[in-house]
């Protein structure tokens, strides 16, 4: 869900995705390469993201990922599921 959300703002390469998640979470969430790239491959296999090679900011070859139309729909579904999960946890925490 976080990868899809980050890519909703526009194309990014893998390192940029991990860096953005870390920065937006105030350094709480760190996505390592061992988790990030397998997740990117799974998202691409499901048709939720697409990729193409390009040049990074430091003039290196990098694979850039973009959100597809199916990915945008999936992000909406994930967001709704997240909202339901947060509500359920909040209810338990307030009543337990």
Indicate whether 84 pLDDT > 90: yes
C-alpha angle with apex 57: 53 to 61, nearest 5 degrees?
30
The whole-number pLDDT of residue 56 equals 87
Average pLDDT over the chain, rounded to whole?
A: 96
Tell me the sheet residues that pair with 65. Answer: 12, 51
Mean pLDDT confidence for 61-75: 97
Indicate whether 59 pLDDT > 80: yes
Q: How confident is the model at residue 27 (pLDDT cuts 50, 70, 90)?
A: very high
* Three-class DSSP labels, the chain: CHHHHHHCCCCEEHHHHHHHHHHHCCCCCCCCHHHHHHHHHHHHHCCCEEEEEEECCCCCEEEEEEECHHHHHHHHHHHHHHHHHHHHHHHHHHHC
Fold of 2-95: Arc Repressor Mutant, subunit A (1.10.10)
């Amino acid at each position: 869900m976080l990868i899809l959300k980050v890519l909703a703002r526009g194309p990014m390469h893998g390192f940029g995705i991990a860096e953005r998640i870390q920065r937006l979470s105030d350094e709480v969430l760190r996505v390592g390469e061992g988790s990030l790239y397998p997740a990117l491959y799974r998202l691409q296999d499901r048709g939720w993201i697409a990729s193409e090679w390009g040049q990074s900011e430091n003039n290196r070859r990098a694979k850039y990922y973009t959100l597809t139309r199916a990915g945008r729909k999936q992000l909406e579904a994930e967001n709704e599921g997240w909202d339901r999960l947060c509500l359920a946890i909040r209810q338990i925490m307030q009543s337990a």
